[in-house]
Amino acid sequence: MGGDFRRISLLEEGKKLRDGAFVADVMLGRLARWLRILGFDVLYFHRAPDDFLIYVVLESGRVLMTRDRRLAEEPILANKAFLVEDTRLPWQLREFLGRYPGGGRPRCADCNGLLVEVSREEVVDLVPQYVYFNSPRFWRCPSCGKVLWEGTHKRNMLRFLGFDPWRRDEGSPE
Ligand SMILES: [Zn+2]
């Protein structure tokens, strides 16, 4: 286990870990990004040996998402691992949401930070003009500073998953 791992904060400070916090194996980077957008708390590491993932699960109480059946069936991970069977992203999302329905306030796809909704005026100089005029909502990530908006790609994916994205646009994302 390399020294870098010691600097990783497994728990957000002062926050009690609720059910529904996850760590994804290296095969599931795209799934992790989409789950963050849907409001799931998902840690992802570009390089993470199995023993490190097991360490994260045992230390943090998170559930491991993995494509590796052998790892998912490790006795030490009993009831703490979720085997993702499909290789296709939309179906992986369906598998996951079938087991863990819900989600919450959207998180940053890049860093897992909890997004804060910002007004259009705040982002007018930060996003391309066509995005400014065509996107109904904007968020900022307090952790990495990125400005995000809802695009057609997300709406199409949500529609595939059976969400009505326009209905979700009403009121609070929580
Ligand atoms: Zn971020």
DSSP secondary structure string for all residues of the chain: --GGGGG--SS-TT-PPPS-EEEE-GGGHHHHHHHHHTT-EEEE-SS--HHHHHHHHHHH-PEEEES-HHHHT-GGGTTSEEE---SSHHHHHHHHHHHS----S-B-TTT-PBPEEE-HHHHTTTS-HHHHHH-S-EEE-TTT--EEE--HHHHHHHHHTT--HHHHTSS---
Domain end position, chosen among 72, 99, 126 = 99
Over residues 25-32, the mean pLDDT reads: 94
Cα(107) to centroid(ligand 1), Å: 8
Do 23 and 59 have their domain in common? yes
Please give the tally of structural domains in the chain.
Answer: 2
Do 94 and 123 have their domain in common? no
pLDDT at 51 > cutoff 80 = yes
Do 79 and 32 have their domain in common? yes
Q: What is the domain extent for residue 74? A: 19-99
Determine the pLDDT at residue 114. 92
Domain end position, chosen among 48, 74, 99 = 99
The pTM score is 0.78
Cα(36) to centroid(ligand 1), Å: 10
Residue 143 domain flag: yes
Cα(89) to centroid(ligand 1), Å: 22
Residue 75 domain flag: yes
Residue 7 domain flag: no
